[in-house]
Every structure is written in C-alpha cells, then in structure tokens.
Structure 1
Amino acid sequence: MRAPDPSEMHFARGRMLAWDPPAPRPDAPALLLLHGAACGSWVWAEGFGARLAAAGHAVFAPGFNRGTPDRPAGLADYMADARAAMAALHRRVVLVGHSLGGLVAQRLLDAPEVAGLALLAPAPPEGLAWASWRLALADPPLWRAVARMTEPGGTVAEAALLRRALFGPGMAEAVALHHLARMGAESRLALLEAQAPQPVPPAWGLGRPLVVFGGRRDPLVPPDAVVRTAAWHAAPFALLDGMGHAMMLDLGWEALADRLAGWLEETYR
C-alpha cells in the first residue's frame, strides 16, 4: 500500500513534513527523521519517508534552522529543534538520524520521548575529526569539496567529487546532480562542534534499542566509524554494499528502508 504525499505541519521552532500511514501499526512509535549536513527535510521526501509510512508508521521530518551569518546555529540549536518537534507530537518516537542528524539523535538518547534510535551513516560519538583528517590525507580534493559545503555555490569539479562520495557508482548522473543542486550551505559552527568527542550516553546503559547502518563506499563516515558507533552502543549494525553517504537517496534506498522497517517491527512488536 502506497503512503500519500507528505503534508506540512508547523511546530514551535519551524516546520516539518508528515506522512500518515495508510494502515497504522497498533502502538508503533512515531518516527522522527533528522537530516544531515547541507540537507533538509526534502531528503526524506524522495521516497524514504513514504516507504516507512507505508509500513505502518507515522513519520515526521523537521528541518534544522541553521541560524544566520552573524549567529550560526550550533548542535545545541539543532537539539532544541528536535526537542521542539518531539514535543509537538505528544507521543514516543524513534529517532532516525542521518550523518550530522545521527549525532543530534545520539545526543538526545536520554530524552523521555525517545523510544530508540536508528542511525544512517551517523557522525560518531568520538566526533568527526579523525575521519576528516584521514580524508584530508587520502583525498585532498574531496576533503576541500566537503569543506566547501558550508558555503553557497560550488564548482562543477566539486560536484563531481561530491557525487562520488555521496552516491554509489550506479547512480545516474542526472539524478545525482539533481540531489546535489538542492543541497545548501551548512552552519560552520555546527560542523566545527561535531569534530570533537561528544557527550553521547551509550544506548545499552539506558535500555534503548538502537541499530546502525553504514555504506561500504562512504568516505565521509567510513565503515570503521560505523562499527565503533555500534560498539559504543552495543548495538547491531550493517554495512551495505555499493552505497555512499547519502543512503536515503542512493540506489538501494528501498532495501534500506525495508530493513529499517523490519528492525522496527521486530523491536516494537
């Protein structure tokens, strides 16, 4: 059964997309999808959110407010955005966080509304500094292109490099460029803060279910960082062949959404 297109709802700190499940699963927690750097809630509207709704979940996707040039947003601001979105739902949620949104989700593990976490290529509790330095040494042009994602615009050469990092080799060029064109400037403050180790409580200590998915081709959050995140939380993980960093947009996103829906059904049956 296909889920309808998302509606838009307002909450205290902004707006979020919302998908109503055609056949709701009884007592299933809602899903709050938190996007990564340089993206927005639109990344979930390319099919991922609707597929999770079709599996019986109420799905919501807020956008982070990046602030202004004079007052850029930090991780605390992104956490406040997510907390306000949770408060507007008046129900328990599973946070589904991608990349920087995955780090925000981990920082919110102890929030009373959080029933669990699903992380997609998440920034790890150790911070991004190690992965960033390794990328700078291994692939300086890509590292510079990633660093420029905090700024508006970008060159054709940078787009080609980012395409290789974000998507697997099977992604059609036109589709990849369509997605890249929608990505925008990210808060330098939030990315700078994300380089450092984070005060992330382990999921096992809180009794919160958690699962981690990563892409084997991802140079931004490489497989070993995914494994360390899963180890910190004593959580199951899966590394998916052929997928880059933008997992919810890459080829094979349907299978990823179905694996996530299967984990949710098994965990919250």
Structure 2
Amino acid sequence: MRSPDAVQLRFARGTLLAWDPPVPRPGAPALLLLHGAACGAWVWQEGFGARLAAAGHAVFAPEFRRGAPGAPAGVADFIADARAALAAMRRPAVLVGHSLGGLVAQRMLSDPDVLGCALLAPVPPEGLAWVNWRLAMADPPLWRAVARMTETAGPAADAAVLRNALFSTLLPDGVAARHLRRMGGESRVALLEAQAAQPVAPAWGLGKPCIVYGARRDRLIPVDAVVRTAAWHGCSFALLDETGHAMMLDAGREALADRLLNWLEESFR
C-alpha cells in the first residue's frame, strides 16, 4: 500500500501537517505529533508520520511558533499551539512528543481530550538543568553547539558535532547534513524555561497510558533521564540501539514507528 502524503492545513494559531489513513483502523486513536527544539513539523515527514497513518491512524503535526523579534515564545506558547491544534482536530488524541515537544506533551496530559502520550527522548519533568550542567562538564563542544541552536546558522557552524549527537552512523552523512541545514532558530526563552522543574501530572495518577523511548547513547537526553521520566509516570520505557537523539529522523525510524504502533494497539483496543 502506498504511504499517504501529508497535506498542510491552517488552524487558529498557524499551520499543521495532516496524514489521512488509507484504511482507518477501527478504534485507532488520532495522533498529535509534537516536534522538538530547533526543528519543525517537517521532521515527521521523513516517513514517520506516513507509517503511522498507513497503520490506520489519523495523524496531525503542528508547527510551533517561536514568537517575534523582541517577544520570543515560551513553553506556554508551545502548549497553546498544541492545544489549538488539538481543538482543530475535533477529536481526542494520543500525544507523541519528541524532546522539547515531549515536555509539551507531558504538560498537557491532564487535558480531557488527551488520551495518553508516547515520549521520544523527552525533556524530563525535573527539567534540563542537571542534564545541561553534566553535558557542559563532560562535552563542552557539544554543549556549546546545543546552546547555539537558538541561532539560525547554529547547526551549520557545528555540523560535525551535532551530526554525531543527533544521528547514528547508520544514517548517511548527506541525509544528516540535509536535516541539519533545516534546524536552528529555537526560542532562547523556551529553552531557558525548560531548564526548570515542570508542573507535570504523572500519567499513572491520571489513569492514562504512557510509554517512554530513549536512545541508549543519547548525550542530550541520557538514559538516566529517560528512566526517571518513566518512573515519574509509572510507565514502561525502551532504550533503542543504533539511533541518536533525533530518532524520528534516524535510520531506525521505521522500527521505532512499529514499536509505537504495537504499543498503541495494546493500549487502545
């Protein structure tokens, strides 16, 4: 079956991508994909969103607005973008959040139209301060490269360092370079706010399914942060080999999508 193509739609706070399932699966929840820092909804267009839709899910992915000069967006603005996208979908959904988008997903867990969440290398509920300090001590070049992701040209200037942190060696260098050229320009305010502990209600207390996926060699969201996030939510986690932090773009993205689909089928029968 041919993979469905994404279409771009407008909603109250911007644009989102949408994939219609060729054959909807009865009972399959809609999915709202939330991208991470320095990225955009385009990250789900490299096969991940289409694979989820091909399995019978209606899939949507909003673009977070980073604000205007002199008024950069904060985490609350990204949450407002995601809530507006969810309202435009006019149906409950499972949130799939990557990195900073994973923090947005966790902050929205108590919303009545959120059915549950799948977190991909997420910012933990405790915030990034400890992870960031440890990265600065252990790998100053990577720490500086991540800090420059607020600049439009940041990824290009630090391409070699970021390539090894974001992607596995299985992803061709040319593909990794293409992705890096599209990254950057993140809101400094949002990244600063993400350093602090967050008001995240645990999934177990809300009675909502949750799963956490981490990359075993991820230096941006390391294994211990993945484990603590799963413990907070009282849910399972899986550590993936041969993938970097940007797992929905990496060579193992199809295997990750299939893992997620299996969890969705088990959790939302």
Partner of 2:118 in structure 1? 118
C-alpha distance in 2, partners of 1:167/1:224? 19
C-alpha distance in 2, partners of 1:59/1:152? 28
Where 2:64 maps in the other structure, the secondary structure is: coil
Matches within 5 A, 1:1-269: 1-154=1-154, 158-269=158-269
Q: TM-score, normalised by structure 2?
A: 0.98
CA contact (8 A) 2:155 2:184 kept: no
Shift in CA distance, 43/7, structure 1 to aligned 2, threshold 3 Å: same
| Displacement of 1:214 | 0.5
C-alpha distance in 1, partners of 2:3/2:175? 23
1:180-219 Cα offsets, whole Å, 9 max, x none, are: 0011210000000000000000000000000000001110
User: Which residues of structure 2 form unaligned runs of 5+?
Assistant: none
CA contact (8 A) 2:149 2:155 kept: no
User: Which residues of structure 1 form unaligned runs of 5+?
Assistant: none
CA contact (8 A) 2:34 2:95 kept: yes
Counterpart amino acid of 1:136? A
C-alpha distance in 1, partners of 2:199/2:154? 33
Counterpart amino acid of 2:140? P
| Displacement of 1:155 | 6.8
1:155-183 Cα offsets, whole Å, 9 max, x none, are: 75611000011001222111100000011
Aligned residues: 269
1:38-84 Cα offsets, whole Å, 9 max, x none, are: 00000000100000001110000000000012100001100000000
Counterpart amino acid of 1:82? A
Counterpart amino acid of 1:104? V
C-alpha distance in 1, partners of 2:168/2:143? 18
RMSD of aligned alpha carbons:
0.9
Q: Percent identity?
A: 72
Q: List, as ranges, runs of 4+ consecutive aligned residues in structure 1 with deviation greater than 6 Å.
A: none
